Amino acid sequence: MKKSDIHRIYELLEEAYRSMEEPSVTKISKQTKRDPFRVLVSCLISLRTKDEVTLASSEKLFAVADTPQKTLELTEEEIGKLIYPAGFYKTKAKTIKNICEILIEKYDGKVPHEIDELVTLKGVGRKTANLVVVEGYGRPAVCVDTHVHRIFNRLGYVKTKTPDKTEIELRKHLPEKYWIRINEILVAYGRSICRPVSPICSSCGLYELCDKVGVTTRR
């Protein structure tokens, strides 16, 4: 694809997204009116966990503890039970409690809004940090998960091997006005249309604009 096609591609993605299910972290962001803490925790719960489980687990935890202070009143076992059956729930419970301690000790109970600060928290990688900035603070950031990485490479917009490299390239070339929405849109699109294996190209509005890099079988 040509770099200049990105504006038309974004329009088509926005149009398709209207009929798709929002990602769980976006739902949490809307439900909490962009509470950075609950966005951060739901991001941590979401790792290697199905979207519907992430939402249910997050809501169960937040019904009991929705601040770092309240969360620290719970034991790791109690947190684990509340977020179960999220994947690696015991490890995540420990991570959540550890982060709450740091937030209170170092940040007066507030979640930092800078990427470089967020990634110093144990368990927070660049994807999570960027998503917290976007969904928790409504600020432009390039959140690259497997869907964003896969789709932009398939389109031919970037040619990268890792999500971190994709983030670097998108920061250079993707217009900033698209940064906030692009992750939630492509997560939904990647689950329903541009799937990892055998994407449903016959239902894709981007078909004529997409280079289909690496696509060997499609529907």
What positions carry a catalytic annotation? 127, 145
57 with 84: CB under 8 angstroms?
A: yes
CA distance 146 to 86: 19
> What does the CA dihedral 103, 55, 163, 3 come to, rounded to 10 degrees?
-120
CA distance 154 to 76: 41
At 202, the amino acid letter reads S
Instruction: Answer whether the bond into residue 175 is a cis peptide, omega within 30°.
Output: no
DSSP string, 186-202: HHHHHHHTS-SSS--GG
Structure tokens at 176: 């900033």
CA distance 151 to 196: 9
Contacts of 76 (CB under 8 A, 6+ apart): 90, 93, 94, 97
Question: How far is CA 134 from its chain centroid?
Answer: 9
CA distance 177 to 165: 20
